[in-house]
Amino acid sequence: MMIKGKIIATSISKSKGVKKKNVPMVELRENFGVLNDAHAGSGREVSFLAIESIEKIRKKGLDVGPGDFAENITTKDIDLLTLNIGDRVKIGKDAVLAISQIGKECHTRCAIYYQAGDCVMPTEGIFATVLKAGVIRPGDEIVATQKKGESNV
């Protein structure tokens, strides 16, 4: 099954555990992640969060936006939580990623929690590894291919 949406922001940071800065594009490298990002080279090479998740936090009265939860890619109109580990995601012309982790465990409240007042990454963020390199930008289409008959819902 194919699921489509679009990229609304791309973000990077030099350090882990801090908000990321929105940038006009990011370069994804195979088996590495986002060039010039602190999480590159780790098992969680690329992080995704939906703007719909960020808007939930905004409704709680917090002034947050893309990159504030340390995600590299902010999406729109794609339900990230229906994806499974191993599902493929194509972004723009060239980049292909594989979902490697759904959510994350936070042992302590990180700097993001204290800066933003809440955090949705543990429950609504997803992570991927880069299978095919490419440059991605806000406005690019994202197409996820789910394994037949499987869903996290």
pLDDT at 118: 61
CA distances from 117 to 10, 32, 123 (A): 22, 30, 15
- Mode of pairing for the β-strands spanning 134-136 and 2-12: unpaired
> Could you report the per-residue pLDDT of 115-153, keeping only the tens digit for each?
555 667 767 889 999 999 999 999 999 999 987 654 443
Q: Is residue 152 one of the residues assigned to a domain? A: no
- Cα 85 to its chain centre, rounded Å, is 14
Chain position carrying tokens 């719909």: 52
Question: Is residue 153 in some structural domain?
Answer: no
Q: Which domain holds residue 14?
A: 2-145
CA distance linking residue 44 with residue 31, whole number of Å = 10
Residue 81 lies in a domain: yes
Those residues of the chain that have pLDDT short of 70 are 104-119, 122, 148-153
Predicted confidence at residue 34, as pLDDT, reads: 97
| 103 assigned to some structural domain | yes
Give one DSSP letter per residue of 66-102, joined into a string. Answer: TTTTS-SEEEES--GGG--TT-EEEETTTEEEEEEEE
Query: Is residue 150 domain-resident?
Result: no
Structurally, how many domains does the chain consist of? 1
Report residue 122: phi and psi, to 5°: -60, -30
Q: Read off the CATH number of the domain in which 90 is found.
A: 2.40.33.20
Looking at residue 8, its pLDDT comes to 97
Tokens of 49: 């969060």
H/E run at residue 107: none
Strand 73-76 and strand 46-50: the pairing is: parallel
DSSP annotation of 7 reads E
Is 151 among the domain residues?
no
Helices assigned H by DSSP within the chain: 51-58, 111-116, 121-124
